Each structure stands twice: as structure tokens, then as C-alpha cells.
Amino acid sequence: MSSSSEPGEARLALTAGITCYLIWGFVPLAFQAINALGASSWEIVAHRIVWGAPTALILALVARQGRQILAVLRNPRTLAWLTLSTVLIASNWGVYIWSVTSGRVLEGSFGYYVTPLVNMASGALIFRERIDRTGVAAMALAAVGVLFQGLALGHLPLISLTLALSFGGYGIVRKQVQADAQTGLFIECLMLLVPALVFIGWLESRGAGHFVSSPASTIWLIAAGPITALPLALFSWCARRLPLSTMAFLQFIGPTIGFAIGVSQGEPFTALHATSFGFIWAGAAVFLVGAWRRSRAIRAAVAETAPAG
């Protein structure tokens, strides 16, 4: 790649990254709109699966991953890992959509603030990755934030912890899978396709479904598929082209928008809530500083080992 094209690709990758996290940030409004038309959280999940499958397939084929899909389908070990990732992502989708359609957007936002720190902890515990003092400080601040969140709610923040652990676990499992994001998502949707279709058919047969209840409902439920697959494809593309520090910063865009949505919609936000988010934001800031330092150290090491001339 020529040096003149590198800045252009970097800008395009940054735009893709910001776009994907903006979609993830504003997606609660889409699910709330579908829910306002009568669809339950599980009906939304089912349509997310049904319409996510063809969208992911199209994206995989555009990325020339057709052979990869066939290879994965012939590999029992890879399919076993994807079965586990399917359970985790389906659980995550179900809990998240239920939370944002039942007035708990703030709890969902809190969970996704915690997720990067869960990833850091799991990296140390499972993959024996070294955590420096900055990482320890970030996780300690997050733990205090979870404690205050529990005090604010009056109980353990189960929604936040479930979202953080299920998505963190999903990332761990997908780390073991030799498949790109589009291929993996298509296989996951494929595994859930029959149960989702059966559930939708059962709802429609009882007159409780909303797919054909109005043109708006039909459009919104179909849109749940692209809303699922497109940001993941953008994320997969830009993650290979942006520095770690940049990706670390971008991943907080989504929950920050979710936080703003929850507050603007009048969800309870007491002094204890503010304290809990304060600790989480402090942990996120420390996390970002650590990621920036690691990225700078890597660039410096690469520069030192690069041949002169």
C-alpha cells in the first residue's frame, strides 16, 4: 500500500468504527420503536435472528467468505465453539432488548461500560495475559462502580452483569473460532433460525404476532436484521485497521449514547447512580490511558526494529 493511500484508509476505518458504535448506541431507540408497535422483546429477538441470517450471508458472500462458511459447516470442533457462542449471544440479545424495552436503558449502558474491563480480567485469568498496574486500577474502580450500582438498585445489578459477562464470554469463545465475523454471525443465526421461525409462526397462528399487523411493524422487524449484522461487519473491518488505543476509545461511544438516552427518558438517576457511573467512567478513563500507552509502546518497538532507509 502506498503511503498516500494509508491516511485515506485510516480515515475510512475511523469513519467505519464511529459508524458502527453510533448504530450500537442508538439501537435502543429502534427496539423501543418496535416494542411500541406491540412486539415483545422475544419477538424482536426472533426477527433479529431471522432477518440477520440473510443479511450476514450477503455480507459474507460480498467479503468472499463462501468457502469459509462451507469449511466451518464441515468442522465439528468449530461448530461446537459456535454453538456455545450462539447461546451466549442469544442470551445477550434477549436480556438487552428486554432491558431497553422495559425502561432499563441505564442498566444496559452500565453493563457495556463494564464489558471491556471484564475482557481485561478474562484475558488475565484465561489467556494468562499480563495486567499492569493501570489495568488493576481500572478493574478496581469498575468493581466499586458495580457495588454502588447494586446499592442504587437495592439488589445485585443482574442486567448489567449478565450483559457484561455474556458479551465478554462471547468474545472469549469467538477468540477460539477460526472464522471471520460475518461467517460466524451467519452460522450463529443459522443455528437459531428454526427455533426463531417456529416461535414467530406460533405467535402469528395465535394472532399474537406483529409481522403483518401494520406496514410500519413489518419494516421495523425486517430492519432488525441489518441493524444486527451491519455494525458487526463494520467493526470487523475497522478493527484490523485501527490502533488498539483508538478502538478502546471508540467502544465507549455506544454505552455513552445509551446513558444519555436513559437519562433523557427519565429513568431514575439518583446520587448513588451518579456515584456508580462516576467510578465506571474513572475506570474507563484509566483503561483508555493504559490502552494508549500500550499502543504507543508497540509503535515505538516497531519503529526501533524497522530497517533503516
**Cα(first)–Cα(last) distance of the chain, in Å?**
17
Measure the CA–CA gap between 107 and 48, rounded to whole angstroms: 22
Say how far apart CA 148 and CA 165 lie, in whole Å.
18
Q: Which residues contact 151 (CB under 8 A, 6 or more apart)?
A: 272, 276
Distance CA 21, CA 18 (A): 5
Amino acid identity of 99? S
Radius of gyration of the chain (CA): 20
Q: How far apart are CA 52 and CA 139, in angstroms?
A: 34
> Beta-carbon neighbour count of residue 208 at 10 Å?
13
DSSP assigned state of 308: P
State the Cα–Cα distance between residues 197 and 178, nearest whole angstrom.
28
pLDDT tens sequence across 173-228 = 887 888 888 898 899 999 999 999 999 999 999 999 999 999 999 999 999 999 98
**What is residue 178's predicted lDDT score, i.e. its pLDDT?**
83
Give the predicted TM-score (pTM) of the model: 0.83
Question: Mind listing the pLDDT tens digit for each residue in 225-240?
Answer: 999 889 888 887 787 7
143 vs 304 pLDDT, higher one: 143
Residue reference for cell 460475518: 182
Determine if residue 83 is left, alpha or beta; phi over 0 gives left, psi from -120 to 50 gives alpha, anything else beta: alpha
Alpha-carbon distance of 24 to 44, in angstroms, equals 16
